Amino acid sequence: MKPPDRDAIDLERFLPYRLSVLTNLVSGTIADVYQRRFDLTIPEWRVIAVLARHPGLSAAEVGELTRMDAVAVSRAVARLLRAGRLRRAVSPLDRRRSVLSVSPAGAAVYREVAPLALGYERELLGTLGTAQRAVLDQALTKLTERAQSLTGSLKASPGGPDGERADTRVRGSRRRR
Protein backbone atom coordinates (compact mmCIF):
# COMPACT_ATOMS: atom_id res chain seq x y z
CA MET A 1 0.00 0.00 0.00
CA LYS A 2 1.32 3.40 -1.04
CA PRO A 3 1.74 5.96 1.79
CA PRO A 4 -0.41 9.06 1.46
CA ASP A 5 1.25 11.93 -0.41
CA ARG A 6 1.53 14.76 2.10
CA ASP A 7 1.31 17.30 -0.73
CA ALA A 8 -1.80 15.78 -2.31
CA ILE A 9 -4.96 17.87 -2.05
CA ASP A 10 -7.90 16.24 -0.33
CA LEU A 11 -10.53 18.08 -2.36
CA GLU A 12 -13.38 17.27 0.02
CA ARG A 13 -11.53 19.20 2.74
CA PHE A 14 -9.74 21.82 0.60
CA LEU A 15 -11.35 25.19 1.39
CA PRO A 16 -11.01 26.82 -2.07
CA TYR A 17 -12.63 23.78 -3.70
CA ARG A 18 -15.43 23.62 -1.12
CA LEU A 19 -16.16 27.35 -1.46
CA SER A 20 -16.19 27.05 -5.24
CA VAL A 21 -18.62 24.13 -5.16
CA LEU A 22 -20.90 25.97 -2.71
CA THR A 23 -20.75 29.17 -4.75
CA ASN A 24 -21.59 27.33 -7.96
CA LEU A 25 -24.43 25.45 -6.30
CA VAL A 26 -25.96 28.57 -4.73
CA SER A 27 -25.48 30.77 -7.80
CA GLY A 28 -26.74 28.07 -10.12
CA THR A 29 -29.90 27.48 -8.10
CA ILE A 30 -30.84 31.16 -8.10
CA ALA A 31 -29.70 31.55 -11.71
CA ASP A 32 -32.15 28.89 -12.89
CA VAL A 33 -34.97 31.27 -11.99
CA TYR A 34 -33.63 34.47 -13.55
CA GLN A 35 -32.21 32.73 -16.61
CA ARG A 36 -35.60 31.30 -17.51
CA ARG A 37 -37.59 34.39 -16.62
CA PHE A 38 -35.26 37.15 -17.86
CA ASP A 39 -32.67 35.44 -20.12
CA LEU A 40 -29.92 36.65 -17.76
CA THR A 41 -26.58 34.98 -17.21
CA ILE A 42 -24.90 34.83 -13.81
CA PRO A 43 -22.37 37.55 -14.76
CA GLU A 44 -25.21 39.77 -16.04
CA TRP A 45 -27.13 39.40 -12.79
CA ARG A 46 -23.99 40.19 -10.80
CA VAL A 47 -23.42 43.35 -12.83
CA ILE A 48 -27.03 44.47 -12.28
CA ALA A 49 -26.84 43.66 -8.55
CA VAL A 50 -23.56 45.57 -8.10
CA LEU A 51 -24.74 48.60 -10.07
CA ALA A 52 -28.06 48.65 -8.21
CA ARG A 53 -26.03 48.98 -5.00
CA HIS A 54 -23.19 51.11 -6.40
CA PRO A 55 -24.38 53.14 -9.41
CA GLY A 56 -21.84 55.05 -11.45
CA LEU A 57 -19.05 52.48 -11.55
CA SER A 58 -16.97 51.74 -14.61
CA ALA A 59 -16.92 48.20 -16.00
CA ALA A 60 -13.39 47.81 -14.60
CA GLU A 61 -14.61 48.83 -11.14
CA VAL A 62 -17.45 46.30 -11.36
CA GLY A 63 -14.84 43.66 -12.17
CA GLU A 64 -12.67 44.70 -9.23
CA LEU A 65 -15.59 44.70 -6.82
CA THR A 66 -16.91 41.30 -7.92
CA ARG A 67 -13.55 39.71 -8.74
CA MET A 68 -15.05 38.70 -12.07
CA ASP A 69 -12.86 38.28 -15.14
CA ALA A 70 -12.68 41.46 -17.26
CA VAL A 71 -13.90 39.60 -20.36
CA ALA A 72 -16.94 38.24 -18.50
CA VAL A 73 -17.78 41.72 -17.21
CA SER A 74 -17.33 43.23 -20.68
CA ARG A 75 -19.61 40.65 -22.30
CA ALA A 76 -22.22 41.03 -19.57
CA VAL A 77 -22.18 44.82 -19.85
CA ALA A 78 -22.45 44.67 -23.65
CA ARG A 79 -25.45 42.33 -23.47
CA LEU A 80 -27.13 44.40 -20.77
CA LEU A 81 -26.62 47.59 -22.75
CA ARG A 82 -28.10 45.97 -25.88
CA ALA A 83 -31.07 44.73 -23.84
CA GLY A 84 -31.63 48.22 -22.42
CA ARG A 85 -30.98 47.06 -18.86
CA LEU A 86 -27.97 49.34 -18.33
CA ARG A 87 -27.09 52.89 -19.27
CA ARG A 88 -23.62 54.15 -20.06
CA ALA A 89 -22.63 57.78 -19.54
CA VAL A 90 -19.48 59.87 -19.50
CA SER A 91 -18.22 60.55 -15.99
CA PRO A 92 -18.76 64.18 -14.99
CA LEU A 93 -15.43 64.02 -13.09
CA ASP A 94 -13.32 62.50 -15.86
CA ARG A 95 -14.54 62.80 -19.46
CA ARG A 96 -12.31 59.86 -20.49
CA ARG A 97 -14.17 57.47 -18.20
CA SER A 98 -17.55 55.92 -18.83
CA VAL A 99 -19.80 54.94 -15.96
CA LEU A 100 -22.69 52.52 -15.80
CA SER A 101 -26.05 52.59 -14.11
CA VAL A 102 -29.09 50.35 -14.07
CA SER A 103 -31.82 51.53 -16.45
CA PRO A 104 -35.51 51.41 -15.51
CA ALA A 105 -35.74 48.04 -17.32
CA GLY A 106 -32.75 46.74 -15.36
CA ALA A 107 -34.22 48.08 -12.11
CA ALA A 108 -37.44 46.19 -12.84
CA VAL A 109 -35.44 42.96 -13.25
CA TYR A 110 -33.58 43.71 -10.03
CA ARG A 111 -36.83 44.30 -8.12
CA GLU A 112 -38.08 40.86 -9.20
CA VAL A 113 -34.87 38.87 -8.73
CA ALA A 114 -33.61 40.40 -5.45
CA PRO A 115 -36.50 39.06 -3.32
CA LEU A 116 -35.98 35.59 -4.82
CA ALA A 117 -32.27 35.72 -4.02
CA LEU A 118 -32.93 36.98 -0.50
CA GLY A 119 -35.54 34.25 0.05
CA TYR A 120 -33.06 31.61 -1.08
CA GLU A 121 -30.44 33.07 1.25
CA ARG A 122 -32.92 32.92 4.17
CA GLU A 123 -33.71 29.28 3.37
CA LEU A 124 -30.03 28.39 3.06
CA LEU A 125 -28.98 30.18 6.26
CA GLY A 126 -32.07 28.87 8.09
CA THR A 127 -30.18 25.65 8.68
CA LEU A 128 -27.81 27.58 10.98
CA GLY A 129 -28.62 29.05 14.35
CA THR A 130 -28.16 32.75 15.10
CA ALA A 131 -24.77 32.20 16.71
CA GLN A 132 -23.61 30.02 13.80
CA ARG A 133 -24.67 32.70 11.29
CA ALA A 134 -22.68 35.31 13.24
CA VAL A 135 -19.61 33.06 13.30
CA LEU A 136 -19.98 32.34 9.58
CA ASP A 137 -20.23 36.06 8.82
CA GLN A 138 -17.14 36.82 10.91
CA ALA A 139 -15.21 33.94 9.35
CA LEU A 140 -16.11 34.99 5.80
CA THR A 141 -15.07 38.58 6.56
CA LYS A 142 -11.73 37.47 8.00
CA LEU A 143 -11.07 35.01 5.18
CA THR A 144 -11.91 37.64 2.55
CA GLU A 145 -9.59 40.17 4.18
CA ARG A 146 -6.81 37.61 4.42
CA ALA A 147 -7.27 36.45 0.84
CA GLN A 148 -7.07 40.07 -0.31
CA SER A 149 -3.82 40.52 1.61
CA LEU A 150 -2.42 37.33 0.06
CA THR A 151 -3.36 38.32 -3.50
CA GLY A 152 -0.26 38.05 -5.63
CA SER A 153 1.86 36.45 -2.91
CA LEU A 154 1.99 33.07 -4.65
CA LYS A 155 3.16 34.72 -7.85
CA ALA A 156 5.73 36.85 -6.05
CA SER A 157 7.24 34.15 -3.86
CA PRO A 158 10.18 32.02 -4.96
CA GLY A 159 8.88 28.71 -6.21
CA GLY A 160 5.46 30.18 -6.98
CA PRO A 161 2.51 28.06 -8.07
CA ASP A 162 4.32 26.55 -11.03
CA GLY A 163 7.62 26.03 -9.23
CA GLU A 164 9.49 28.73 -11.13
CA ARG A 165 10.99 31.73 -9.44
CA ALA A 166 8.74 34.74 -9.97
CA ASP A 167 11.56 36.84 -11.43
CA THR A 168 12.14 34.32 -14.25
CA ARG A 169 8.55 34.18 -15.45
CA VAL A 170 7.02 36.28 -18.20
CA ARG A 171 3.81 35.97 -20.17
CA GLY A 172 2.93 32.42 -21.04
CA SER A 173 5.68 29.90 -20.53
CA ARG A 174 8.55 31.77 -22.18
CA ARG A 175 11.46 32.77 -19.99
CA ARG A 176 13.67 35.83 -20.25
CA ARG A 177 17.02 35.12 -21.79
Condensed to tens digits (0 to 9), the pLDDT of residues 88-99 reads: 999 888 888 899
Beta bridge partners of 86: 102
Fold of 11-127: Arc Repressor Mutant, subunit A (1.10.10)
Q: What is the pTM of this model?
A: 0.78
List the helix and strand counts (H, then E) for the chain.
7, 2
The identity of residue 142, as a single letter, is K
Domain boundaries, the chain: 11-127, 128-159
Q: Binning pLDDT at 50, 70 and 90, where does residue 174 land?
A: very low
10-64 pLDDT, tens digit per residue, is: 999 999 999 999 999 999 999 998 999 999 999 999 999 999 999 999 999 999 9
d(C-alpha 80, C-alpha 106), whole Å: 8
SS3 100: strand
Rounded mean pLDDT of the chain?
87
134-148 pLDDT, tens digit per residue, is: 999 999 999 999 999
